[in-house]
């Protein structure tokens, strides 16, 4: 029988505690290693960092404000609520932070073709935008169910010159779009960069995407110290794959007194298939390249999920969140479809801000806990995206009347 | 029992277990072995087969819908082992169903069922420490994929930990048929040869007698998957075993191949 020649130290690469790693077809390994090396080199290169920073400032619109939501805070009668305004970024969500980084990286690697998956369409739009900016070919995979409920974003992507390929397998949502993007990547791996949109997938994606999103907490931490002279009591962010949440949490992880609260999609209820609350209904497993909490049945088949927000409608969660969950450093709760819709209306009417349905889950949790907190307490909510894309769903769910 | 390739080249036949149903998969496997397949790969259906093309995706979906579980696939393997002691039996799966079943529990059950080897599509050498330990404890051959994109250093690592045979992927991409066999395949086999004496089986896109003969020129065996699954898909269940037998015989005697 053969024996191991080397016990590769690489075994621990890309791990967050027990989670993460690389579970991919062998065909992709060379590409992942190439990406890992190119990313390490770019990270160490001040010129690359300067390129990213310049585009984030001049094109994307960073830094985003940290806004004290006075009327919302007063109406709830508890903690002071601040909103980190990622919704004000070009293309309307935090997704562009990562797309700028990976787009420039792909350019350095000489890859001219970009593929991406998208759920709510925000990552797809951000990817199409960056591809237009950098003159690259762009193909976006999107579940047909998501295309239907986020049609505006489909149109935006097409206008930007991207090809949107509908995915009709499985639940026709984000998970299925990732499967199809991975099939494309396996096939075109020599010429194509897979611009993964969340802290998911095989190493180095969870680390790389987190690094490109860390700017959220880097700014927020400085801003709250400038504005309040102290750290907040808690940070709240919605968690689909978890990229805005990890970006909002990351620089606060060493600040043990700052609670980190992730909000998953509670959907219509806690039955399997009715929600996307991985930390309540999931068990550790391997999906799409990484080991993390996964909503699955007793045979290891991946469960269907439901959320009113396409961006949170996914059966697994970023492996770093799994580690933060197990260590207790972050808490994960869920908000239902209904409470997210209610939160949307509340924020719109108290602050004149229309949140994305994803971000509305974080607002819902803030609305729930703020009244239980002291008036001197500070709650920072990452408002990861704006809600224009959701007008179709909102008008149906809230019975809004048009012309 | 060691995996042996009697034919030249040898033939590995992939079947998605439970497509169209488990009794039919059993009959097809028996027919395939009797028609000249050296090894049967029993595919464990999975909800998210991201390395597979549309044909195997659809088969997997049908089998999952039919309720086929990993434990059913192991029971099927035990039946086949009893009926055809000489055939090689390999469990072909994505990792998650095995993890959920329990890695050690799976290995133990696979050994009891008489399985020879295990191939996990999304398992790479770097992640395989515990996996290899368990497979070895239960005397199961670890079969790994080697890809045209794998640099020599990786091929060396793959060869070092493999057992049974090494599965060389003929081209980049997902499973599925193709009209011509890529030149990638022979180059990969040549590179792999430097690192292993194990048989090398070439798969992905091998779908007819011409491909089969071409693979025989440079490799020990060919893996045929999507072409077989596609025949099962378009056959009535009761016809499927004889259709597959005819197809397999036709690989070695092209005149017999139903076209």
Q: How far apart are CA A344 and CA A26, in angstroms?
A: 44
Which pLDDT band holds residue B255 (cuts at 50, 70, 90)?
A: low
User: What is the pLDDT, as a whole number, of residue B175?
Assistant: 82
Mean pLDDT score, B10-39: 98
User: What is the pLDDT, as a whole number, of residue B96?
Assistant: 98
Q: How far apart are CA A278 and CA A292, in angstroms?
A: 9
User: What is the pLDDT, as a whole number, of residue B25?
Assistant: 98
A23 and B172 within 8 Å at the Cβ level: the answer is: no
User: What is the pLDDT, as a whole number, of residue A227?
Assistant: 98
User: What is the pLDDT, as a whole number, of residue A17?
Assistant: 96
Put simply, whether A175 touches B (Cβ < 8 Å) is yes
**ipTM > 0.90?**
yes
Q: Are A197 and A240 in contact (CB under 8 A)?
A: no
* B63 pLDDT higher than 70: yes
User: What is the pLDDT, as a whole number, of residue A397?
Assistant: 93
Q: How far apart are CA A207 and CA A210, in angstroms?
A: 5
Q: Is A80 among the catalytic positions?
A: no
User: What is the pLDDT, as a whole number, of residue A12?
Assistant: 63
Q: How far apart are CA A310 and CA A304, in angstroms?
A: 13
Summarize pLDDT for B119-172 with one digit per residue, the tens. Answer: 999 999 999 999 999 999 999 999 999 999 999 999 999 999 999 999 999 988
Summarize pLDDT for B79-113 with one digit per residue, the tens. Answer: 999 999 999 999 999 999 999 999 999 999 999 99
CA distance A178 to chain B (A): 9
Averaged pLDDT, groups of 10, chain A, 403 residues long? 37 86 95 96 98 98 98 98 98 98 98 96 97 98 94 96 95 92 92 97 98 98 98 98 98 98 96 94 97 97 94 96 98 98 98 98 98 98 97 93 82
Q: Of the candidates B49, B126, B161, which has its C-beta nearest A11's C-beta?
A: B126
Q: What is the pTM of this model?
A: 0.95
* B254 pLDDT higher than 70: no
Domains and CATH numbers, chain B: 10-142+207-257 (3.20.20.70)
B144 neighbourhood in chain A, CB within 8 Å: 26
For residue B106, count other CB atoms closer than 10 A to its CB.
Answer: 26
Query: Of residues A80 and B178, which shows the higher confidence score?
Result: A80
CA distance B49 to chain A (A): 8
Q: Of the candidates B96, B150, B172, which has its C-beta nearest A286's C-beta?
A: B96
Mean pLDDT score, B19-37: 98
Q: Which of A171, A243, A307, A384 is flagged as catalytic?
A: A384
Q: Are B70 and B17 in contact (CB under 8 A)?
A: no
DSSP A271: S
User: What is the pLDDT, as a whole number, of residue A5?
Assistant: 37
Q: Which of B19, B21, B27, B41 is flagged as catalytic?
A: B41
- Cα B139 → chain centroid: 18
Q: How far apart are CA B87 and CA B116, in angstroms?
A: 9
B129 and A11 within 8 Å at the Cβ level: the answer is: yes
A130 Cβ neighbours under 8 A, 6+ residues apart: A96, A99, A100, A103, A114, A136, A195
User: What is the pLDDT, as a whole number, of residue B7?
Assistant: 81
Cα within 13 Å of Cα(A113), Cβ side: 11
Q: Is B104 among the catalytic positions?
A: no
User: What is the pLDDT, as a whole number, of residue B178?
Assistant: 72
A189 neighbourhood in chain B, CB within 8 Å: 149, 172
For residue B238, count other CB atoms closer than 10 A to its CB.
Answer: 9
User: What is the pLDDT, as a whole number, of residue B8?
Assistant: 85
User: What is the pLDDT, as a whole number, of residue A6?
Assistant: 37
Window 283-342 of A: residues touching B by CB (8 A cutoff) are 283-289, 294, 296, 298-302
CA distance B68 to chain A (A): 9
User: What is the pLDDT, as a whole number, of residue B159?
Assistant: 98
User: What is the pLDDT, as a whole number, of residue A11?
Assistant: 44
Cα within 13 Å of Cα(A292), Cβ side: 33
A287 neighbourhood in chain B, CB within 8 Å: 48, 96
User: What is the pLDDT, as a whole number, of residue A336?
Assistant: 98
User: What is the pLDDT, as a whole number, of residue B195?
Assistant: 98
């Amino acid at each position: 029988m053969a024996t191991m020649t080397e016990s590769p130290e690489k075994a621990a690469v890309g791990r967050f505690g027990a989670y993460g790693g690389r579970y991919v077809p062998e065909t992709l390994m060379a590409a992942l290693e190439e990406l890992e090396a190119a990313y390490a080199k770019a990270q160490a290169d001040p010129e690359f960092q300067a390129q990213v920073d310049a585009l984030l400032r001049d094109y994307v619109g960073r830094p985003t404000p940290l806004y004290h939501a006075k009327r919302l805070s007063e109406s709830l009668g508890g903690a002071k609520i601040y909103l980190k305004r990622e919704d004000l970024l070009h293309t309307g969500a935090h997704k562009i932070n990562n797309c700028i980084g990976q787009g420039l990286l792909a350019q350095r690697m000489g890859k001219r073709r970009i593929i991406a998956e998208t759920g709510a369409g925000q990552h797809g739009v951000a990817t199409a935008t960056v591809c237009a900016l950098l003159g690259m070919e762009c193909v976006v995979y999107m579940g047909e169910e998501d295309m239907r409920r986020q049609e505006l974003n489909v149109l935006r992507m097409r206008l930007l010159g991207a090809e949107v390929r509908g995915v009709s397998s499985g639940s026709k949502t984000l998970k299925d779009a990732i499967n199809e993007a991975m099939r494309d990547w396996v096939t075109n791996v020599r010429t194509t960069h897979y611009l993964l949109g969340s802290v998911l997938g095989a190493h180095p994606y969870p680390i790389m995407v987190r690094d490109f999103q860390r700017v959220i907490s880097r700014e927020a931490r400085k801003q709250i110290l400038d504005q309040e002279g102290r750290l907040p009591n808690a940070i709240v962010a919605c968690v689909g794959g978890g990229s805005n949440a990890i970006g909002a949490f990351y620089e606060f992880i060493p600040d043990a007194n700052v609670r980190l609260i992730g909000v998953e999609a509670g959907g219509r209820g806690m039955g399997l298939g009715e929600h996307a609350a991985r930390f309540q209904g999931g068990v550790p497993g391997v999906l799409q390249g990484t080991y993390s909490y996964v909503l699955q049945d007793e045979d290891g088949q991946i469960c269907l999920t439901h959320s009113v927000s396409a961006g949170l409608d996914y059966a697994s969660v970023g492996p770093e969140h799994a580690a933060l969950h197990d260590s207790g450093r972050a808490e994960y709760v869920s908000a239902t479809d209904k409470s997210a819709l209610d939160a949307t209306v509340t924020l719109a009417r108290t602050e004149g801000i229309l949140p994305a349905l994803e971000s509305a889950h974080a607002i819902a949790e803030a609305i729930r806990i703020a009244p239980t907190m002291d008036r001197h307490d500070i709650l920072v909510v990452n408002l990861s995206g704006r809600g224009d894309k959701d007008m179709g769903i909102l008008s149906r769910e809230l019975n809004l009347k048009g012309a | 029992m060691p995996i042996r390739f009697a034919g030249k080249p040898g033939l590995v036949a992939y079947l998605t277990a439970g497509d169209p149903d488990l009794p039919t998969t059993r009959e097809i496997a028996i027919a395939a072995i009797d028609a000249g397949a050296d090894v049967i790969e029993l595919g464990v259906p999975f909800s998210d087969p991201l390395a597979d093309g549309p044909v195997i995706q659809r088969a997997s979906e049908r089998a999952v819908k039919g309720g086929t579980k990993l434990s059913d696939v192991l029971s099927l393997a035990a039946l086949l082992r009893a009926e055809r002691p000489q055939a090689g039996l390999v469990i072909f799966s994505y990792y998650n169903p095995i993890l959920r079943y329990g890695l050690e529990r799976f290995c133990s059950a696979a050994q009891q069922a008489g399985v020879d080897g295990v191939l996990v599509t999304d398992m790479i050498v770097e992640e395989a420490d515990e996996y290899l330990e368990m497979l070895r404890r239960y005397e199961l051959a670890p079969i790994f994929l080697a890809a045209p994109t794998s640099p020599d250093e990786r091929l060396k690592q793959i060869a070092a930990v493999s057992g049974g045979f090494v599965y060389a992927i003929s081209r980049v991409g997902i499973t599925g048929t193709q009209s011509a066999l890529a030149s990638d395949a022979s180059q990969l086999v040549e590179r792999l040869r430097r690192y292993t004496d194990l048989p090398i089986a070439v798969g992905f896109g091998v779908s007819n007698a011409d491909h089969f003969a071409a693979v025989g020129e440079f490799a020990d065996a060919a893996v045929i998957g999507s072409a077989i699954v596609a025949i099962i898909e378009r056959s009535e269940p009761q016809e499927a075993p004889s259709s597959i037998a005819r197809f397999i015989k036709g690989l070695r005697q092209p005149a017999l191949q139903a076209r």
